[in-house]
Structure 1
Amino acid sequence: MARKRRYELSVEDGSPMDTQVLSVFPELDTRTKKHLKEVAFSLVYALAVMLVAYLQRDWLSFYQREAVEQLVVRRRSLAVKPFSYIKTSSSFWTWTETHLMDALYDDGNENPLQSHSFYQVQWSKLRQERVSKDVPFTIPNDVLSSTFGHCKEPFSSYNKDWRDYGVGWTPRNDTGQNVTDPALLAWTHRTAEELREASFHGIHGVYHGGGYQVELSRNRTKTVAILRDLRSNDWIDEKTRAVFVQLTLYNPNSNLLTTVLLSVEFSVIGAAFPTHEVLVFPPYFGIVDLPVSFLASEIFLLLLSGYFVYVEGWRMYKMSFQYFKDFWHILDSVIIAEAFGTFGVFFYTQYVADVIYHQMDAVDEEGAWGSFVNYRKVAIWSQTYTYMLGILISLITVKLLHVLGSIVNGVTFLSATMCEAAASLSGFSVIFLICVAAFAQMVYLVVGNHLFTYSTFVGTLQEMLNWMLGDFDYDLVTDVSPHLGPAMVFLFNISFQLFLMMVFATILCEALALIRVQTEEEPRRDDLPPTLQTIVMEGTKSLRMRYQQAKAARKYRDVVVYEFETTDATGIELLCFEQSFEDRNGADVTGLWLTGGAGKM
């Protein structure tokens, strides 16, 4: 009985064909494949965070902010200067009765901002914070105290006034006065929780919200009457430390909200210091009302963060406390915490916005006095969400550079160079900081009393960084001190540009040269994955081999040879082969031939 054995032969050389499909990367082990997956995940995660950040910030935000500042803050005329020129309480009242009224109203009692597609959400308000009259503050100098009776006390949370007053800051008799009277609400203290107000960091203090609030009318004539009544009753007096003008604008063309806060701080020296804050943010009308692209990117990033938690949690479980001994594992934990902190801020912003929108609906239904709805808290949380996205992008970029460093030579040189130069750079940083502090102290003492940007030591340190970049006003410094000014600038440029920066570059060049020598002399460690160049070359080679194999298989896909034994009529045992294949014309051809035999004795 014939016993057949099946073979697939190569037509070219007659050797058996390998029917196993070649892997694209046959030389990569499990550890290397895991590393490549980590590189791919880090890259996708970084792109997802960048996409969310890009969709969160509208490109029209900058132009809307500039337009609002031009219409409200920088508005000026020949008779009255703009907001930034307010120096006294009298100039503040003049500005509110002229420029502010022109920005909010026109002669027809319509909002001129509507010509630029800006519509007020509710209406604007005034608010002030003041110090208490009961806090004593005497002159520390005994000689001068006999000449001057008292001095003004600075603002702080300890001497903030919390009491209610009558008109003109007179003591209030609660039993005889109606606290719901609109004219009396300007003299009634309200907490930050009642006003839903956020803190404001000014030049001369931190104001935690609350205070005495006045809401303006929808009619220009009534608003001017309210302002003149406040001015005649000394609503701003020597106890006032800050006055705020707040309004909220909406542009339907860009679908962006803008909160405007104009603050005038009255310091203890008697002068007024105006500052302003303009925040542009997208309207948060609810999760379902968000753009589909932004919502999809948020969900995708949330899913990636969940997978990241799973991977790092499993790694932490296997490594136990050894997990926290590696810096890069700690960085992964920080990235996870930052990511979910960012999601927490996003959902809390949605919650705050939902509360404010419900408040606005309630005000519209009741139509009561006190209808100003404060959106500034939503704007601040939206800005915080943007900042946290920026921090998350920075952290994930550091992780991406780390995982790329083991397979990309250029990134490897970067990280290795910084590690090699770490000791030298730490010593150089100490010298650098000492030099910066010394020059900052000298500049602060020379021009600090004359220029606002150098009025504080911290501000002077920031300006020193601008000096290193060449971004400073040389004429202002030399006008204040014609002799020391040029000398300070010259010495600073010689010390930093020609000396310290050259030392810094020398340290890095020396470390890079050492790394290059070590790379050429020492072979690559076995515990490191192959470089990206090796992976690409080997992968290309494997793909080429796979293509050739597939090409041969398509050409001779039905070549089959059977080996079997049989006997002829004389009883001699023969070894026969039977070949079956499909020729180029598609016809089946079968051949049988005798290759050898052996007689049986």
Structure 2
Amino acid sequence: MRQSQRERFFAQLLVYSLFLCLYVYIVTDIRPVHQTFGVHSTIFDQTSAEEFPDANFDKRFSDVATIGEFWEYSEQVLFPALYSSEYFNGDPKAFDGRFSNTIAGYNTLIMPLRLRSVRVQNSSCDNVRAFTKTCWGRYSADTALREPFGAEYGNSYKTDLVQWSGYEGFGEDYGTEGYVVDIPLQEAGQPTGWAAQLKALKGAKWIDESTRAVSIHAGFYNANLDIHTYVRWSVDISPSGRFQPWTTMWSLRLNPYSRQSDTIRLVAEGVFVVLLLGYLVVELSEMRKLRWGYFLEIPNWIDMINYGLYIAVIVVWVDFVLAYVVEDKGYAAKFSSRLTEYDEEFAQIAGIFRASTQLAAFNIVWAVVKVFKYLQLFPSVMLLWEALANSMVEIVPFFMVIVMSIVAFTFAAHWTFGHYVLEFHSFTRSFFMLVRTVVAQNSLPYDLMRESSPTMAVIFVLLWTVVMLLIIVNMFVGIITDSHDFVMSQHHLEQSRMLHRIGNSANVDFFRATLNRGIGALSRNLEKAGQSVSSTPTVIFKDNPKRKANKEDPTIFDPENRAQLKKIHNVIRGVDTKDAEAVRQMMVHEEVDKLTAADLANTVFAKDPTKAHDFLDSIIGIQIVQESIRSIEARELQEQQRVSELTSTVDRLVRETQAVTEALSTAPQLDTEAGVEKFLELQGVKTLQHTTSKS
């Protein structure tokens, strides 16, 4: 049964490898990561990472900490880079050419820049005191300021914007509303029109104390790579006055079926969907067969999550294609040329494409985990899989202990050091900071912790090190080790008992068995063609020393036993060998003699007593052959022992006879038999008569 299971794993591994390769090819071709990285790094280096020209230290966008510094960055770094009007040698750029409104030569702005901000109402906090006339709290839909202002410099309040959320731990969910100001692309004769508009915004205090976030949105197109990129430079402003600058970039191909290689990918997508449907049918049939028992097996949960993610990726991608590619809306052409107005739909499209990318990236992890299921055809991998499965009984509750312990330390670190140390300023960052110290051996920010609370830093680090790194982690390793030792002992016990019952067939692995079957098939074909081929086991395994030593011990997988092997294969064809665990346990505990056809029919052969009887008859036949082989070997061993004893006796008689002859030839003439015996005793030799009679 195990051999049959490994054969199925091998066939399933081949199909799943094709399925997985198609998935990797499709995702990689749609999302050219290397090219996207080149676009992102270029834009980032020349905008977010560019130094302030008038600063007396290395100051960049990430160092913005005040409203004045935000305007300084916009006027001296960002807008000059995006709206540059001259080449490196001072020649003016042609505004009707490709290089106008372009950064790094190839990434061209396709629409005006959009400045967006959100504000809160005066007295939006709950702790107003007599000496404080106004205060500004956290942003929410209830505290948002929506009153119009600044129409003279293009400011307006819109409610149909793209979803915008702040940086984790610092910002809020700003929703789809806010104040916006669009700054047009450069036109001929007005190369610095943006400067006057920024000056007006700055002078009118478009950003003030009530502002909770401000961002600049841009859309680029790289014609060389056919890649569109959405970029957002954001600054979250907390009620404490802290500024958190950060940059977001999303890239995509708006016309993913325009190249010749895209046609090949389209065919691959079709094959992939067909294979996925096949897997879903198999999974649903198994779910229908096992009913609620299906959900009690961990591998089934892995399959469900894996297939669910595949379906989610396909749904998101189909929605993207139907909405922006198939329908005749001309998005690819629209966003590949310069627009006079900012279009929020560009960011929405990029967001959908990014969501599908994240789902695809997360799913590949589950997809590779499933490969280990099929790699069980290798005994070493099978043992590792069984060790992990066996350890889950203890790992699941122990994992809960680990999580609760980390949560407890998370609260302690957040409450004690969060007011001073960035890594502990929020619960989420505190939790993942501690997790990294466990799984990646990252060190805690001990120096900053000491500055925040010297005594508590020492106590916390000692407790964390002793409890988590010395006790809990080692207990986890111990659970895995004990499970592996138990599985190995069970395997050795099973193997020894299988060897006793079916002989050398138990030692034949999947590849040797497959090789034997292949050679058997080749032999039959050659015999049909009129050629003779030796089918003895010594020819098949002539290079195997172990096989030479046991060359008289045949196996069920040898070519001469192909009829019996074929009979067994016909019996167990279509049987779900996952249900054979009960039979294996009976083998390990020496209860297999109690196994009946009814037991096999109920556990393995889907209540088919005929197949169960045929399988038992085949196995009993193998055992009878093996017992006869062992009987013959035992008789041969006894005969060899008797021959060895007789040979040693004859050798001893020859040596004693030679000794007597030599003694007599050198002795003086003795007249009596008693004298002769006395002489022999003096020579240390027993009498011939005594020796002969004893023999």
Q: Secondary structure at the match of 1:257?
A: strand
Aligned ranges 1:460-539 → 2 under 5 Å? 460-468=430-438, 469-472=440-443, 473-481=445-453, 484-485=456-457, 488-522=460-494, 534-539=509-514
**What is aligned with 1:57?**
31
Hey, what does 2:346 align to over in structure 1? 375
Residue 167 (structure 2) pairs with residue 157 (structure 1):
no
CA distance in 1, matches of 2:119, 2:255: 35
Deviations 1:316-350 (A, max 9, x none): 56666766666555654444333222111112223
Task: Flag structure 2 segments of 5+ consecutive residues without an equivalent.
Answer: 87-91, 94-99, 533-695
Residues 132/465 of structure 1: CA separation in 2 closer, same or farther (3 Å cut): same
Q: Is the 8 A contact 1:49 1:389 kept in 2?
A: no
- Aligned to 2:509, the other structure's residue is in SS state helix
Once the two structures are overlaid, the 10-residue window that deviates more, 322-331 or 533-542, is 322-331
Letter in 1 for 2:28: Y
User: Which secondary structure state, in structure 2, belongs to the residue aligned with residue 375 of structure 1?
Assistant: helix
Partner SS state of residue 214, structure 1: strand
Out of 402, 427, 444, the residue aligned to residue 432 of structure 1 is: 402
Amino acid at match of 2:159: T
Partner secondary structure for residue 92 of structure 1: helix
Q: Over residues 435-494 of structure 1, what are the superposed CA-to-partner deviations in whole Å (9 max), with x where a residue is unaligned?
A: 323433333334322222221122111111222323345544445455554554455334
1:541 partner amino acid:
N
Change in CA separation of 1:360 and 1:244 when aligned onto 2, cut-off 3 Å? farther
- Aligned equivalent of 1:237: 208
- Letter of the 2:212 partner, please give it: R
Say yes or no: does 1:43 pair with 2:13: no
Comparing both chains, which one has the higher relative contact order based on Cα–Cα distances under 8 Å and sequence gaps of 6 or more? 1
1:588 aligns with: none
Kindly provide the amino acid, as one letter, of the partner of residue 138 in structure 2. Answer: P
1:347 maps onto 2:314 in alignment: no
How many residues are aligned here?
501
1:119-174 CA distance string (max 9 Å, x none): 112232211122346xx536537xxx12222311321122323443454xxxxxxx
Name the structure where helix makes up a greater proportion of residues: 2
Bigger radius of gyration among the two: 2
1:309 to 2:280 alignment: yes
The unaligned stretches of length 5 or more in structure 1 are 1-25, 168-182, 558-601
Partner secondary structure for residue 17 of structure 2: helix
- C-alpha change, 1:305 and 1:531, in structure 2 (3 Å) is farther
Q: What is the CA-CA distance between 1:73 and the residue it aligns to?
A: 0.6
Query: In 2, are the aligned partners of 1:152 and 1:268 still within 8 Å (CA)?
Result: yes
- Does residue 218 of the first structure (1) align with residue 192 of the second (2)? no
On the 8 A contact 1:331/1:399 being kept in 2, the answer is yes
Deviation at 1:74, TM superposition (A): 1.2
| AA partner of residue 192 (structure 2) | T
Residue 223 (structure 2) pairs with residue 261 (structure 1): no
Are the counterparts in 2 of residues 409 and 531 from structure 1 also a CA contact under 8 Å?
Answer: no
Q: Which residue identity is paired with 1:400?
A: V
1:297 deviation in Å? Answer: 2.8
**TM alignment of 1:171-570, pairs within 5 A:** 183=152, 185-186=154-155, 188-192=156-160, 195=161, 197-202=162-167, 203-219=170-186, 220-279=191-250, 281-285=251-255, 287-289=257-259, 291-315=262-286, 328-329=299-300, 331-354=302-325, 358=330, 370-372=341-343, 374-405=345-376, 407-468=377-438, 469-472=440-443, 473-481=445-453, 484-485=456-457, 488-522=460-494, 534-555=509-530
Give the Cα–Cα distance (whole angstroms) in 1 for the partners of residues 165 and 384 of structure 2: 42
TM-fit CA distance, 1:71: 0.7
Could you tell me whether the CA contact under 8 Å between 1:356 and 1:375 is conserved in 2? no
TM normalised by structure 1 equals 0.73
1:77–1:310: structure 2 CA closer, same or farther, 3 Å change rule? same
Distance 1:113 1:487, change over 3 A: farther
2:43–2:103 contact (8 Å) kept in structure 1:
no
Distance 1:435 1:331, change over 3 A: closer
> Contact 2:110 / 2:221 at 8 angstroms: preserved in 1?
yes
Query: Shift in Å at residue 540 of structure 1?
Result: 0.9
Take 2:303 and 2:185, find their aligned partners in 1: how far apart are those partners?
54
| CA distance 1:153–1:533, shift in 2 (3 Å) | farther
Q: Distance in 1 between matches of 2:462 and 2:292?
A: 54
SS for the counterpart of 1:264 is: strand
Work out the percentage of aligned pairs sharing the same amino acid.
17
- Give the letter for the 2:62 counterpart: S
Larger mean Cα displacement after TM superposition, 482-491 or 43-52: 482-491
Name the Cα RMSD after superposition. Answer: 3.6
Q: Tell me how far 1:231 sits from its aligned partner.
A: 1.8
CA distance in 1, matches of 2:65, 2:120: 20
Deviation, structure 1 residue 313: 4.4
SS of match in other structure, 1:42: helix
Is 1:140 paired with 2:105? no
Q: Secondary structure at the match of 2:134?
A: coil
Which is further off, 265-274 or 85-94?
265-274
Conserved 8 A contact 1:42-1:396: no
Q: For residues 481 and 325 of structure 1, what CA distance do their matches in structure 2 show?
A: 48
Q: Is the 8 A contact 1:352 1:378 kept in 2?
A: no
Aligned amino acid, residue 437 of structure 1: V
